[in-house]
Amino acid sequence: MKQKKWQRWVWLAVAAVAMLGVGTLPAQAKTTNKTVTFGQLTNKNPHRLAAIRQAARQQILKQTHAKGSKVAAVCKVKLPKHMTKKATLTPKGLRMNLLDNKFKVKQITIPYSQLKGKVLNRYLPKTQRTKAIKTKKMVALTFDDGPDKTLTPRLLKTLKKYKVHATFFETGQNVSRNPKIARAVLAGGNEIGNHSWNHPDFNRIGTAKTVSQITRTNRAIYQATGTLPQFVRPPYGNITAAEGRAIEQPIIRWSVDSRDWAYLNKTKDINEVMRDTRGGDIILMHDIHAQSVAAAPTIIKRLKAKGYKLVTVSQLLNYQTLPGLQYFGAHDYRTAGK
């Protein structure tokens, strides 16, 4: 009897532990390391491979706690360009070996969260896989040329009030002047993209100077926020195919131009956006014009009244943007420069 009673207490204790999950192995601990080629990860898609290189640069900077001055150097680290090269799927992410580099890093592990929409779903944990979304009632508000020391904080208050998020394409010179505001943009759940250093027409300055504009701005944004921007929006929407390949960041254009820069009129801004906006659109505005910022509350309220959900560019495009491609809306993308 005593032995049976003892066994019963042991069984109850084991059951309690199992229910609480104490002492049990997490699901990912059962995952074994698996070697894969980049061709397998990307289905031999060069744009996906470029996205992995983009994520690798961010991870190198993070892993080494690098300062902004190292942003240019990370672009020179030799990263895989051949589909036959191999990496390892681990419980924590994609592990890659690196060739000799100035950062003296031999190996990095890119978290799967940074590869969502970039590698094929079957190589990602279920929580990081993309799923089909309906964009019929989704739009993305975007604002160019900031941050402005007065107007951008005002706009951020509006976004917070109406519980919506936007994507800000900022110039490097304004980020360097207003780093706290750049941080506030991200702190509010919004996104920051690269809009060049001082707004030149890329088509007129050539590939080398275009890359310099982007790198310099990436450095300013990284210096201010601790993260590299994923997207680039070329000033005036102009970019060549060669520049798109050299930049190795997704290009974000727009499908609705508010023309707020031309009108400088609150009412016209509102009417232009409301007349042209449909589901899946990317709306272009500017947070350096008082009239545009003043128009934002009405635009947001009217769009929401029509049943639209206002989201970031990443959300609208389902996290599937790739370097070398330019995106005009939820279902409209082309090779950069075309």
Provide the annotated active-site residues: 144, 286
173 membership: H or E segment, kind and range: helix 172-177
Residues sharing a CB contact under 8 Å with residue 212, sequence separation 6 or more, in sequence order = none
Bond preceding residue 147 cis, omega within 30 of 0: yes
Q: Which two tokens stand for residue 75?
A: 């672009």
- Reduced DSSP (H G I as helix, E B as strand, rest coil) percent helix, strand, coil of the chain, to 5: 45, 15, 35
Q: Check if the beta carbon of residue 198 is closer than 8 Å to that of residue 170.
A: no
* CB 171 within 8 Å of CB 233: no
Six token digits for residue 269:
């801004």
- C-alpha to C-alpha distance for 159 and 297, rounded to whole angstroms: 8
CA gap 108, 96 in Å, rounded: 5
The CA-to-CA distance between both ends of the chain, in Å, stands at 83
Phi, psi of 107 (to 5 degrees): -155, 140
Q: Which two tokens stand for residue 266?
A: 């609150």
CA dihedral 41, 45, 46, 52 (to 10 degrees): -30
Tokens of residue 310, six digits? 């206002």
- Tell me which amino acid residue 226 is: G
* Residues paired with 251 in a beta bridge: 232, 326
Torsion angles phi and psi, residue 164, rounded to 5: -130, 165
The pair of structure tokens assigned to 279 is 């589901």
Task: Say how many C-beta atoms besides its own lie within 10 A of residue 201's C-beta.
Answer: 14
